[in-house]
Amino acid sequence: MRTPPFLPRFRGRLHDPRTATAVGRWLGLAILVCFVTGVTSHYLQQPPDWAAGHLPTRPVSGYRVTQSLHVISGIAAIPLLLVKLWTVYPRLFEWPPIRSVAHALERISIAVLVAATLLELFMGLLNTIQWYPWPFPFRAAHWALAFVIIGALLVHLAVKAPVIAAHWRRTSRATTTLDAQEAREAQDARDTAGDAATAAAERRSLLLGLAASVGAVTLVSAGQSVTPLRRLVLLAPRDPRVGPQGLPVNRTARAAGITPDDLRGWRLRVGGPEPYELTLAELRAMPQTRVELPLACVEGWSKSAHWEGVRIKDLLARAGLPDGASLRIVSMQRHGGYGVSAMDRAYTRDGLTLLALRLNGEILAPDHGFPARIIAPNRPGVLQTKWVTRLEVL
Ligand SMILES: Nc1nc2c(c(=O)[nH]1)N[C@H]1C(S)=C(S)[C@@H](COP(=O)(O)O)O[C@H]1N2
Ligand SMILES: [Mo]
């Protein structure tokens, strides 16, 4: 069937399966890295029951690495997705629009894949600047969409397997495994090009330009978590060097509603078989431990710091819990989320997990959680609770 005259004709040489495959595999890799690191982050932040007591607290910077990779691969996926969509968009106008039931299902799965991926990347990007202009909870939506994307992507890869195989290598000549439509398109592309060498040269410059833009967005945003690149953080919403005591702040003491009265009357209350209370002076009189651990925010910035305070392990032993316990950590915070966090036994019995009183050699700044905050190895920043006042045993 001829294409009707009201549909546009595309003469560009790079709307071809070879270019789509070349860009698609980098996009696929970015999506895979993003997915795996996202699932890791989800389980560290909200451990499933079967993981109780077994969460890994090593490597101490594990979460920093996976979270940086998550944000870096997500940002890199944006130019990759845009170029991929540009190479294939003429197929939106393919004629006839539906050839069979299988073809209709394939087109629907691609529509779902494209829509979900655009939304997912857009939401993730806005999340890095802590902007939530939608009425649904970010995490639940981001999590659900990830599985929609992976499902639709697997369908897409299965359907396109012959095309991908035929165009995986630059030199491959195979049009034999293509379906009739793809073969016609490939032939068309060659006819209009007149010269396959020109097409290859153009493709090379498109891919080089794409590589340069992926490199550029990565370089100017990765510095928020990768220290050697920190001078280049043009696009990153956070410069990890900026903030009291050399560390950024997401929620200030004022935003959390911490008052001078709260601080004057502050006590640490610890639950357990032998519950007790401590004043700040009593807490300072206990053995202090120094650790170097990163804060790794789920929004994409990370920074390592020196912390000093009392081991959670020692506080629990004093309450009659020598082997640690699962905890609910409660902050004095009045407004907003993250005032309470759960802590698995794997963390509470780890000697590096502290109720920190000092940061980089100074008493904690009010915005960093004065008088006491949690710092634990390989733990998402969002769970490093500030202004802690109670440790409840679960
Ligand atoms: N009580 C309380 N603790 C909190 C938060 C909060 O909003 N309230 N924010 C968390 C988040 S999202 C991060 S990344 C770190 C940031 O720590 P900082 O402000 O000390 O740099 O604190 C965590 N602890
Ligand atoms: Mo965070």
- Confirm or reject: Cβ of 385 under 6 Å from ligand 1: yes
Mutate to test the pocket of ligand 1, among 67, 129, 338, 379 (most ligand atoms within 8 A of CB): 338
Mutate to test the pocket of ligand 1, among 44, 241, 251, 374 (most ligand atoms within 8 A of CB): 251
**pLDDT for 28-53, tens place per residue?**
999 999 999 999 999 999 999 999 99
pLDDT for 370 beyond 80: yes
Mutate to test the pocket of ligand 1, among 128, 130, 250, 385 (most ligand atoms within 8 A of CB): 250
- Confirm or reject: Cβ of 368 under 6 Å from ligand 1: yes
**pLDDT for 226-257, tens place per residue?**
888 887 777 777 777 788 998 999 999 999 99
How many Å lie between the centroid of ligand 1 and the Cα of residue 96?
55
> Is domain 244-393 in CATH 3.90.420.10, yes or no?
yes
How many Å lie between the centroid of ligand 2 and the Cα of residue 74?
17
What's the pLDDT score for residue 9?
A: 84
pLDDT for 177 beyond 60: no
Q: Where are the domains of the chain?
A: 17-97+160-232, 244-393
Which pTM was predicted? 0.91
Residue 366 belongs to what H/E stretch? Answer: none
Nearest to 369, CA basis, from 242, 271, 250, 281: 250
CB-based contacts of 351: which residues, under 8 Å, 6+ apart? 289, 311, 313
* DSSP codes joined into one string, 222-248: HTTT-GGGGGG-SS-S--TT-SGGG--
What span, in angstroms and rounded, lies between the C-alpha atoms of 390 and 394?
A: 12
Count Cβ atoms below 10 Å from residue 44 Cβ, excluding itself: 22
pLDDT for 174 beyond 50: no
Residue 134 carries which DSSP code? S
Mean pLDDT calculated for residue range 311-332: 96
What's the pLDDT score for residue 179?
A: 62
Q: How confident is the model at residue 183 (pLDDT cuts 50, 70, 90)?
A: low
Beta strands 340-343 and 373-375 are: unpaired
What's the pLDDT score for residue 104?
A: 93
Mean pLDDT of the chain: 91
Q: How confident is the model at residue 175 (pLDDT cuts 50, 70, 90)?
A: very low
- Confirm or reject: Cβ of 251 under 6 Å from ligand 1: yes
* CA dist list (Å): 61 to 74, 117, 332, 347, 348: 20, 29, 28, 14, 17
**pLDDT for 377-391, tens place per residue?**
999 999 999 999 999
